[in-house]
Amino acid sequence: MSEFAVRAEKAAKAEKLDAGDELAGVRGQFVLDEVVYLDGNSLGALPSAVPGRVEDVVRRQWGELRIRSWDESGWWTAPERIGDRIAPLVGAAAGQIVVGDSTSVNVFKALVAAVRMAGEGRDEILVDATTFPTDGYIAESAARMTGRTLRPVTPAQVPDALSGRTAAVLLNHVDYRTGRLHDLPALTAAVHAAGAVSVWDLCHSAGALPVGLDEYGVDLAVGCTYKYLNGGPGSPAYLYVRGDLQDRFDSPLPGWNSHVEPFGMRSDFTPADGALRGRVGTPDILSMLALEAALEVWDGVSIEAVRAKSLALTDFFLECVAAYAPDGRVESLTPVAHGERGSQVALRCADAGDVMKRLIERGVVGDFRHPDVLRFGFTPLYVGFADVERAARVLGEVLR
Amino acid sequence: MSEFAVRAEKAAKAEKLDAGDELAGVRGQFVLDEVVYLDGNSLGALPSAVPGRVEDVVRRQWGELRIRSWDESGWWTAPERIGDRIAPLVGAAAGQIVVGDSTSVNVFKALVAAVRMAGEGRDEILVDATTFPTDGYIAESAARMTGRTLRPVTPAQVPDALSGRTAAVLLNHVDYRTGRLHDLPALTAAVHAAGAVSVWDLCHSAGALPVGLDEYGVDLAVGCTYKYLNGGPGSPAYLYVRGDLQDRFDSPLPGWNSHVEPFGMRSDFTPADGALRGRVGTPDILSMLALEAALEVWDGVSIEAVRAKSLALTDFFLECVAAYAPDGRVESLTPVAHGERGSQVALRCADAGDVMKRLIERGVVGDFRHPDVLRFGFTPLYVGFADVERAARVLGEVLR
């Protein structure tokens, strides 16, 4: 087929896929431009509802009501209210998620609490050796501070590495580099069979695919909100503590917001009931309420529809890259099998840093991950199939 | 003197004091209304520069530039840049403060790092027994996780309690309840004489009076930014690590932002040089840049002038309360001596909760601290002497 014919065929296919896209209407709820934005797995695009909400929070809630807003504008209860808004997206019933702090800080809370739940006899923490670095650094600190040994293993090695010594296992649902989706149900079951506690990092899966926290009996989980949840730069992370474990959640960061009676100003600490004990200090209201507005785009959207579109987008991208990219210039690190794929495509490319720079200059935004990875994230809420065709076509041109 | 004459005299004095107030012009940089706002020590009023800045951050930096803003809009370097903006207000040279996380989380970082600096042989942590609760809870956790014993003592007892066993001492510069200013130079010197490490909580002093971190050789300090620094509800806190201690600052929360090469994505942790190693996860940009805009009100304002006005305000308030309040209805818990007074006045009052409710209904906003304290904070940047006279007068009316 000629280059022209290939292009015509892909464009026609994109048009057909876009016409059948049941989520196409959601795109109108985001502020977008002519750029093909495939970096929503780093920073989600701006939902249109956010600027007006933030303005109200700043001008009226802070500027006029001031301190009264802690009650009257619902500031005080925002961490658990917004947690309940995230809950259905990750398959959790209400009352198990609180929002606040960064992902790193929540990994620390969750992993230390997990070790404490596991009990004194278990002296080893398993951590994904291919994890996003912060999880590994924090796990090292959690191990040091609880007197445990940290053992990095690949997710595939976890079942064999588990033993009666294992206290807790920290895993990523989707690998930040390759986009590989790990088998959360099977790995959680294996962790439980060994009597250990599972901690899942959902940064690269929440909002892109069904997680099923309750269904698969996950113990503890954390995630950020600025990727597929579009909460804005550095928006607060969240912590999930399964309902029946909450009484045993013993936080290493017991702040005044974790107390059963925060305004009692007691010198002795008694933790709040429920997920609230995962809170720490004063919640960061501006960022938190921007996130709350951002989550409104999920009204009426099913995560199953998002997943179906996500797979169609990445399938089509891989197909277009195969058609447009010169042979041997890039190699996909992302699994072909749907059951092993998140919502991104990672392409290995010798001169990836330079290639990504040129892609961005030409209006296709992904990101570069050291040392040789082109990473493209597909947010089904606002990326369409014509975007995908264009991105792959421009990539092909840049690579030639 | 008749009631009328008393009122005329206080009003005349207020007018004279306002006329001589060199900071009077700063009030115009805040969004204020007819309310007398004496709760700036809980949540500072909105600086006029903030709404426009936040709108730009949301609409242009996030909405249009998206991921590019991490470089182009200076997001990535915000924690240290804003730290350097706070530095002169607390008497610190540049390069020693980073902004991020809550006060509670920063207390944890500082106290654990302090214990590690002190070395293995020292097994005791002293903490202010009258502290704001979160510091005590976090200190308990830091002690538990480092295998030290926590010993609560009043600040006055600290010199006698210090010994060769003392690893670290966590103190508040100003007591949140009584408004008592503790003697930072003398207490820091005593801590050092015992070979221990000092950690100061500046929540109720920064922005209200000179702190002198560098001058007095404070080791580590933390503080919030939503009180006298007017950063907004739950705006990020900060951490000070004295320059010559930075190489020994061993954080219990080593996130990817603490790494010497954050985008190197290394699996082994090598801390950044300098105060940067006090960072943890992705900085919370919306709140952080709102704070940056809020700090502009300090341009051309000296903290010494702020302190002088603060003392004049609290002097005048105590004078007016003495003139207006029925005998025996309230008792000041705030020291009379200037050297022992922060920027608030705490009045003990049997029915304080009810009294504060009625004050607020009548346009005088302070807050109630369990069980019997009326707390009035005086932010010299926007509170004037006529406000003070009116607040005391309304209080007198409510108490009768």
Task: Give the mean model confidence (pLDDT) for residues B67-74.
Answer: 96
pLDDT at A124: 98
B227 has pLDDT over 90: yes
* Burial status of residue A19 (CB atoms within 10 A of its CB: 0-12, 13-18, 19 or more): exposed
What's the pLDDT at B42? 95
User: Can you list the alpha helix ranges (DSSP code H) found in chain A?
Assistant: 3-19, 49-56, 69-72, 78-86, 103-118, 133-146, 158-161, 184-193, 285-294, 303-324, 352-361, 385-399
For residue A128, the surrounding DSSP H or E stretch is: strand A124-128
Kindly report, residue by residue over A168-195, the tens digit of the pLDDT: 999 999 999 999 999 999 999 999 999 9
Q: Quick one: which of A208, A211, A230 has its CA closest to A222? A: A211
Rounded to 5 degrees, φ, ψ at A36 are -90, 110
Quick one: pLDDT at residue A70? 96
| Integer Cα distance of A383 and A79 in angstroms | 29
Which residue of B lies nearest to A130 if distances are taken between CA atoms? B267
Q: What is the pLDDT of residue B252?
A: 98
Q: A162 and A125 share a domain?
A: yes
**What would the pLDDT profile of A130-141 be if each residue is shown by its tens digit?**
888 889 999 999
Where residue A378 falls among pLDDT bands split at 50, 70, 90?
Answer: very high
Cβ-based neighbours of A323, under 8 Å, separated by 6 or more = A6, A10, A392, A396
Q: What is the mean pLDDT of residues B231-260?
A: 96
Of the three residues B276, B298, B320, the one that is the final residue of a domain is B298
The pLDDT value given to residue B304? 97
What amino acid occupies position A392?
A
Task: Identify whether the C-beta of residue A286 lies closer than 8 Å to the C-beta of residue B287.
Answer: yes
Res B1 pLDDT > 80: no
Does the active-site annotation cover B116?
no
Maximum Cα–Cα distance across chain A: 77
Give me the helix-helix angle, B285-294 and B78-86, nearest 10°: 30
Contacts of B284 (CB under 8 A, 6+ apart): A102, A233, A234, A235, A236, A284, A287, B100, B236
**Residue B65 sits in the same domain as residue B147:** yes
Statement to judge: residues B214 and B145 lie in one domain: yes
Q: Is B221 buried (19+), middle (13-18) or exposed (0-12) by CB count in 10 A?
A: buried
CATH code, A381 = 3.90.1150.10
* Other Cβ atoms closer than 10 A to B300: 7
* Triad B217, B219, B223: Cα angle to 5°: 110
Give the strand pairing for B36-37 and B97-99.
unpaired
B220 burial via Cβ count (<10 Å: 0-12, 13-18, 19+): buried
The pLDDT value recorded for residue A148 is 98
Q: For an interface test with A, give the residue of B42, B55, B58, B370 to mutate (most A CBs within 10 A).
A: B58
For residue B98, is pLDDT > 90?
yes
- Whether the Cβ atoms of residue A349 and residue A372 lie closer than 8 Å to each other: yes
Examine residue B39 and state whether it is found in any structural domain, yes or no: no
Please indicate, yes or no, whether residues A334 and A371 belong to a single structural domain of this protein. yes
The answer to whether A333 and A347 are in contact (CB under 8 A) is yes
> What is the full DSSP assignment across A330-376?
-EE-S-SSGGGB-SEEEEE-TTHHHHHHHHHHTTEE-EEETTTEEEE
Is the preceding omega at residue B371 within 30 degrees of 0, hence cis?
Answer: yes
Look at residue A292 and tell me whether its pLDDT is greater than 90. yes
Chain A residues close to B50, C-beta within 8 Å? 58
CB B306 within 8 A of CB B275: no
Query: Left if phi > 0, otherwise alpha if psi is -120 to 50, otherwise beta: which for B225?
Result: alpha
Handedness of CA B108, B112, B117, B121 (dihedral sign): positive
Q: Look at residue B378 and tell me whether its pLDDT is greater than 80.
A: yes
Specify the number of domains making up chain A: 2
Residues of chain B with C-beta less than 8 angstroms from the C-beta of A223: none
Query: A69, A134, A376: which to substitute to probe chain B, counting the most B Cβ within 10 Å?
Result: A134
User: B370 pLDDT band (50/70/90 cuts)?
Assistant: confident
**Is B219 contained in some domain?**
yes
Q: Concatenated DSSP letters for B89-131?
A: GGT--SSSEEE-S-HHHHHHHHHHHHHHHH-TT--EEEEETTS
Mean pLDDT over A63-87 rounds to 97
Cβ distance of A145 and B146 shorter than 8 Å: yes
Query: Is A38 inside a domain boundary?
Result: no
| Boundary (domain end) residue, out of B249, B270, B298 | B298
> Is A166 annotated to bind ligand?
no
Instruction: Let me know whether A64 and A123 are in one domain.
Output: yes
Binary contact (B253, A280; C-beta < 8 A): no
B171 assigned to some structural domain: yes
Between B133 and B286, the more confident residue is B286
Assess whether the previous peptide bond of A371 is cis (omega < 30° from 0): yes
Separation between Cα atoms, residue A60 and residue B301, nearest integer Å? 27
- What's the pLDDT tens digit per position in A327-343? 999 999 999 999 999 99
Angle at B287 between CA B284 and CA B288, to 5 degrees: 70
Query: In this complex, which of B58, B101, B369 lies closest to A265 when CB atoms are compared?
Result: B369
Nearest CA-CA partner of B79 in B216, B245, B281, B359 = B281
Considering the domain architecture, whether residues B275 and B250 belong to the same structural domain is answered as yes
CA distances from B45 to A391, A398, B40, B59, B365 (A): 47, 52, 6, 24, 12
Identify the pLDDT of residue B113: 98
A315, A288: one domain = no
**Which chain A residues are Cβ-neighbours of B236 within 8 angstroms?**
284
Residues of chain B with pLDDT > 90: what percent? 93
Model pLDDT, residue B145: 98
In a domain, B46, yes or no: no
Distance from CA of A220 to the nearest CA of B (A): 19
Active-site residue, B385 included = no
Strand, helix or coil for residue B341: strand
Question: Which residues of chain A have a CB within 8 Å of the CB of B39?
Answer: 66-67
Across chain A, mean pLDDT equals 96
Mean pLDDT of B102-108: 97
Same domain for A241 and A197?
yes
* B326 and B205 in a common domain: no
**One domain for residues A15 and A68:** no
In a domain, B311, yes or no: yes
What is the three-class DSSP state of B210?
A: coil
Contact: A133, B290; criterion CB under 8 Å: no
Percent of chain A with pLDDT over 70: 100
Tell me A64's DSSP state.
I
In this predicted model, what pLDDT tens digit does every residue of B309-319 receive, in sequence order? 999 999 999 99
Taking only Cα atoms into account, the Rg of chain A, rounded to an integer number of angstroms, comes to 22
Which pLDDT does position A181 carry in this prediction?
Answer: 97
* 3-class DSSP assignment, residue B153: strand
Domain that holds residue B24: 3-30+302-399
CB B160 within 8 A of CB B137: no
Length of chain B: 400
**Is B101 one of the annotated active-site residues of the chain?**
no
- Choosing from A264, A298, A332, the residue where a domain stops is A298
Partners of B281 on chain A (C-beta within 8 Å) are 101-105, 134, 237
Mean pLDDT of A241-255: 97
Place of tokens 């922060």: B342
Report the C-alpha gap between A30 and A33 in whole angstroms. Answer: 10
**Average pLDDT along chain B:** 96
Specify if A361 maps to a domain: yes
pLDDT of A1 higher than 80: no
In this complex, do B104 and A281 lie within 8 Å of one another by their Cβ atoms? yes
The pLDDT value given to residue B155: 95
Does residue B27 surpass a pLDDT of 80? Answer: yes
Of B102, B254, B257, Cβ closest to residue A141: B254
Whether B223 is covered by a domain: the verdict is yes
Same domain, B293 and B306: no
- Averaged over A78-88, what is the pLDDT? 98
Please report how the helices B133-146 and B103-118 are oriented relative to each other, as an axis angle in degrees rounded to 10. Answer: 40
Question: In this structure, what CATH number is given to the domain that contains residue A151?
Answer: 3.40.640.10
pLDDT at A263: 84
Instruction: Tell me the mean pLDDT in the region B92-121.
Output: 97
Which pLDDT belongs to residue B263? 84
Q: Could you tell me if B197 and B129 lie in one domain?
A: yes
CB A280 within 8 A of CB A100: yes
Q: Report the pLDDT value the prediction gives residue B130, as an integer from 0 to 100.
A: 85
| B88 assigned binding-site residue | no
Planar angle of CA B290, B294, B295, nearest 5 degrees: 120
Q: Are strands A149-153 and A124-128 parallel, antiparallel or unpaired?
A: parallel
- Judging by DSSP bridges, how do beta strands B197-201 and B220-223 pair with one another? parallel
- For B243-247, the CB contacts below 8 A with 24+ separation are B243/B93, B243/B95, B243/B96, B243/B274, B245/B117, B245/B219, B245/B220, B246/B96, B246/B273, B246/B274, B246/B275, B246/B277, B247/B273
What's the pLDDT score for residue A266?
85
In terms of Cα–Cα distance, which of B283, B290, B236 is closest to B76?
A: B283
Q: What is the CA radius of gyration of chain B?
A: 22
Contacts of A143 by beta carbon, 8 Å cutoff, 6+ apart: A125, A149, A150
Q: How many other β-carbons are positioned within 10 Å of the β-carbon of residue B19? A: 9
> Which of A253, A277, A375 best probes binding to B when mutated, by most B CB atoms within 10 angstroms?
A253
